[in-house]
């Protein structure tokens, strides 16, 4: 997780907000205070100037009303004297920057201070004229200068003159500047103190949050053993308690989820069937080991690929949404080296809103099941065919006999002989089928005993040699020393009869049938070879299947049922041996089987 810098932290934001709020309050209070103070100081200054000028105005009124004779002081001199006395007697006259006394004709009678008007001239300044003509006017402030006019009236309330004045307000503004400086210093001091207090308060508030952040980072790694230290019962303390409760619940939830995940992983790993999970678009997201083995690809190789492409079923399912209606299907994944059929069962995965969120595919190898089913179908077909042929023959001959052929002394015996042969053929077929059925259901008992296979094998070969064709040669490679095996003599006799009969049957005139037997450390190996037509390599392993014939027409001519080698394999398997064939076209066939040698200890107790 990215580390949060100080300038991005909640603590700094809290301090800034705290300072801004305080600064805003100070500014509001300061603005109101300074504004009111400035207004009060100006009012006080104006009132002070007005009070002083009222006395001067009163004296000027008396001067304008006095009757003057010859030799008496003139109005101008008296006015100048009054102004001089006013400015000298009043200790604060320095505030007044100029005084201008005019008669009713705007002629300057006396002037004081910073004014350009001269005694005896008519005032032409429009502002002064305008103010003076109005008589008494409220003072006006322009910049730092207070200006105004007072009317000089006689006893009849007639304006006989005007006093125009200006006063400098520098002291007022200097006081305001000093006050603003003090206020600014106080504000900076308050902000500094507030910032320090804000840091302490923010640290107190944000420290538990920082601890919870660190704990959340630890929880993100899967460690739920730590707890937040709760130091109060306020909102942050309640948040810490709630955070600890969440930690406990997450730990329990993770333990439950991990347990379920392990169970699911164990189930998926130990299933014999393959399981493939996809997302809503059909991309593979999960696959167990049996599924990898069945499809021949690892999960890493097919992760994210489309299930339709991996199983190569685009011709059967055009769109992934059609998998919902597919239900189950058999998919052919056969290659040149292996025949493989799998059965795929599709099911939908829904989310909490009951919307399709993906698919679960369960696949199983049904190659053997399909093979067994096909063999059963072929078995029924072969049995039907094998029975139909002799029955059809018998029916034809019996119909001929019923039509009068029985009266013909030459034809009747031949027809009856054929019927007898076909009947015997059906009896052999049925007996072989019954024997196979019993062996399939483990109903055939094996009566084993200690047998010297050397003598036993020679006796069987001797029996066939007495009835063989004169042009056929038997070649024996059987050791003279005794080889003891633990077998059912009748069952192994039947095995040898079936194998030797086939060897004689398929050997050409003048051919040789070779018999071989030798022992290894733990087993006996027997071989019976002919010099017949042989078999193609792809049919060698099939001759032990029921009703399988390399050359069906020739086998039927020789009277075989197609079950002899199948019975031989069942009997050898019952003796814990193995039987197989080796053949080459045009050079003959060898049938070999093994039997376990007799245990010496068992032989001692026999």
Say whether both 60 and 114 belong to one domain.
Answer: yes
Domain that holds residue 330: 271-365
Q: What is the pLDDT of residue 387?
A: 67
Q: What is the pLDDT of residue 380?
A: 66
The dihedrals phi and psi of 241, each to the nearest 5 degrees, come to -60, -45
Return d(Cα 337, Cα 330) in angstroms, integer: 19
Say whether both 251 and 139 belong to one domain.
Answer: no
CATH of the domain at 121: 3.30.450.20
Q: What is the pLDDT of residue 485?
A: 92
Has residue 2 been placed in a domain? no
Give the pLDDT band of residue 458 (cuts 50, 70, 90): very high
Neighbours of 162 (CB within 10 A): 28
Between residues 519 and 342, the one the model is more confident about: 519
Say whether both 325 and 463 belong to one domain.
Answer: no
Say whether both 467 and 551 belong to one domain.
Answer: yes
Residue 60 has pLDDT above 60, yes or no: yes
Has residue 237 been placed in a domain? yes
Return d(Cα 348, Cα 323) in angstroms, integer: 9
Q: How many separate helices (H) and strands (E) can be counted in the chain?
A: 16, 17
Q: Using the 3D structure, point to which of 393, 412, 440 is the last residue of a domain.
A: 440
Residue 306 gets which letter from DSSP? B
pLDDT digits (tens, 9 = 90+) for 236-268: 777 778 878 888 888 888 788 878 778 777 777
**Which of 63-77, 129-143, 258-272, 276-290 is predicted least confidently?**
129-143
CATH of the domain at 421: 1.10.287.130
Residue 354 has pLDDT above 70, yes or no: yes
Q: What is the pLDDT of residue 145?
A: 82
Residue 3 gets which letter from DSSP? P
175-181, Cβ contacts within 8 angstroms, sequence gap of 24 or more: 175/41, 176/34, 176/37, 176/38, 176/41, 179/34, 179/37, 180/34
Say whether both 313 and 385 belong to one domain.
Answer: no
Give the pLDDT band of residue 494 (cuts 50, 70, 90): confident
Q: What is the pLDDT of residue 553?
A: 47
Has residue 6 been placed in a domain? no
Say whether both 129 and 33 belong to one domain.
Answer: yes
Report whether 246 contacts 228 (CB < 8 A): no
Report whether 60 contacts 100 (CB < 8 A): no
pLDDT, mean over the chain: 77
Give the pLDDT band of residue 604 (cuts 50, 70, 90): very low
Say whether both 23 and 167 belong to one domain.
Answer: yes
Q: Using the 3D structure, point to which of 365, 387, 408 is the last residue of a domain.
A: 365
Has residue 198 been placed in a domain? no
Q: Whole-angstrom distance between the N-terminal and C-terminal Cα of the chain?
A: 81
State the DSSP H helix or E strand holding residue 48, giving kind and residue range, or none if neither: helix 10-65
Say whether both 114 and 262 belong to one domain.
Answer: no
- Closest Cα to residue 194, out of 8, 6, 14, 9? 14
Has residue 381 been placed in a domain? yes
Q: What is the pLDDT of residue 525?
A: 93
Has residue 208 been placed in a domain? no
Report whether 585 contacts 535 (CB < 8 A): yes
Say whether both 52 and 17 belong to one domain.
Answer: yes
Q: Using the 3D structure, point to which of 317, 344, 365 is the last residue of a domain.
A: 365
Say whether both 88 and 129 belong to one domain.
Answer: yes
Q: What percent of the chain has a predicted confidence (pLDDT) above 70?
A: 82
The dihedrals phi and psi of 221, each to the nearest 5 degrees, come to -85, -5
pLDDT digits (tens, 9 = 90+) for 4-32: 555 556 667 777 777 787 778 777 887 88
Residue 163 has pLDDT above 90, yes or no: no
Number of domains in the chain: 5
Q: What is the pLDDT of residue 454?
A: 92
pLDDT digits (tens, 9 = 90+) for 375-405: 677 666 666 666 676 777 778 778 777 877 7
Q: Report, as an integer, the average pLDDT of 163-172.
A: 82
Residue 602 has pLDDT above 50, yes or no: no
Q: What is the pLDDT of residue 556?
A: 47
pLDDT digits (tens, 9 = 90+) for 303-335: 888 877 877 777 777 676 666 666 677 777 777
Say whether both 378 and 359 belong to one domain.
Answer: no
Has residue 431 been placed in a domain? yes
Residue 524 has pLDDT above 90, yes or no: yes
Report whether 562 contacts 575 (CB < 8 A): no
Say whether both 456 and 593 belong to one domain.
Answer: yes
With a CB cutoff of 8 Å and minimum separation 6, the contacts of 422 are: 390, 391, 393, 394
Residue 133 has pLDDT above 70, yes or no: no
Geometric angle at alpha carbon 590, from 588 and 592, rounded to 5°: 175
State the DSSP H helix or E strand holding residue 142, giving kind and residue range, or none if neither: strand 140-142
Structural tokens at position 47: 């009132």
pLDDT digits (tens, 9 = 90+) for 212-221: 777 777 777 7
Q: What is the pLDDT of residue 131?
A: 55
Has residue 211 been placed in a domain? no
CA dihedral 506, 507, 508, 511 (to 10 degrees): 180
With a CB cutoff of 8 Å and minimum separation 6, the contacts of 227 are: 215, 244, 247
Q: Report, as an integer, the average pLDDT of 490-517.
A: 87
């Amino acid at each position: 997780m990215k580390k949060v810098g100080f300038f991005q932290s909640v603590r700094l934001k809290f301090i800034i907000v705290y300072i801004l709020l305080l600064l805003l309050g100070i500014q509001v209070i300061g603005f109101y205070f300074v504004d009111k103070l400035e207004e009060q100081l100006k009012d006080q200054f104006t009132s002070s100037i007005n009070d002083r000028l009222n006395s001067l105005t009163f004296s000027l009124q008396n001067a304008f009303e006095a009757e003057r004779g010859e030799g008496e002081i003139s109005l101008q001199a008296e006015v100048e004297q009054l102004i001089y006395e006013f400015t000298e007697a009043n200790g604060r006259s320095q505030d007044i920057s100029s005084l201008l006394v005019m008669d009713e004709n705007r002629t300057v009678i006396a002037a004081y201070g910073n004014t350009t008007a001269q005694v005896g001239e008519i005032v032409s300044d429009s502002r002064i004229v305008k103010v003076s003509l109005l008589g008494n006017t409220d003072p006006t402030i322009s910049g730092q200068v207070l200006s105004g006019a007072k009317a000089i009236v006689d006893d009849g309330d007639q304006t006989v003159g005007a006093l125009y004045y200006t006063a400098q307000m520098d002291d007022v503004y200097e006081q305001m500047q000093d006050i603003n400086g003090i206020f600014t210093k106080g504000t900076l001091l308050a902000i500094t103190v507030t910032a320090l207090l804000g840091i302490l308060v923010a640290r107190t508030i944000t420290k538990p949050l920082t601890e919870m952040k660190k704990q959340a980072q630890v929880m993100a790694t899967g460690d739920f053993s730590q707890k937040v230290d709760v130091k109060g019962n306020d909102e942050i303390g309640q948040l810490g308690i709630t955070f600890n409760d969440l930690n406990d619940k997450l730990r329990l939830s993770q333990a439950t989820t991990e347990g379920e995940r392990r169970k699911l992983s164990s189930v998926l790993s130990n299933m014999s069937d393959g399981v493939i999970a996809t997302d809503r678009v059909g991309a593979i997201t999960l696959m167990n080991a049996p599924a990898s083995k069945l499809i021949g690809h690892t999960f890493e190789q097919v992760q994210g690929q489309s299930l339709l492409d991996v199983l190569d079923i685009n011709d059967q399912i055009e769109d992934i949404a059609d998998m919902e209606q597919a239900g189950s299907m058999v998919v052919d994944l056969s290659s040149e080296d292996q025949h493989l059929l799998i059965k795929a069962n599709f099911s939908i995965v829904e989310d909490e809103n009951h919307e399709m969120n993906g698919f679960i595919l369960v696949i199983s190898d049904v190659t053997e099941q399909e093979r067994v089913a096909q063999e059963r179908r072929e078995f029924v077909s072969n049995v039907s065919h094998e029975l139909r042929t002799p029955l059809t023959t018998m029916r034809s001959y019996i119909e001929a006999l019923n039509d009068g052929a029985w009266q013909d002394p030459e034809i009747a015996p031949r027809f009856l002989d054929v019927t007898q042969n076909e009947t015997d053929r059906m009896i052999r077929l049925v007996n072989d089928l019954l024997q196979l059925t019993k062996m399939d259901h483990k109903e055939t008992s094996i009566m084993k005993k200690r047998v010297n296979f050397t003598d036993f094998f020679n006796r069987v070969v001797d029996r066939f040699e007495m009835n063989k064709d004169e042009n056929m040669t038997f070649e024996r490679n059987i050791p003279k020393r005794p080889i003891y095996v633990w077998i059912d003599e009748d069952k192994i006799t039947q095995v040898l009869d079936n194998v030797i009969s086939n060897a004689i049957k398929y050997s050409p005139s003048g051919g040789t049938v070779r018999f071989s037997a030798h022992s290894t450390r733990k087993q006996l190996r027997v071989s019976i070879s002919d010099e017949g037509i042989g078999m193609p390599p792809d049919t060698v392993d099939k001759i032990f299947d029921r009703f399988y014939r390399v050359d069906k027409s020739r086998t039927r001519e020789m009277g075989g049922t197609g079950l002899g080698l199948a019975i031989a394999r069942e009997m050898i398997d019952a003796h814990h041996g193995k039987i197989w064939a080796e053949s080459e076209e045009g050079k003959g066939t060898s049938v070999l089987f093994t039997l376990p040698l007799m245990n010496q200890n068992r032989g001692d107790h026999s």
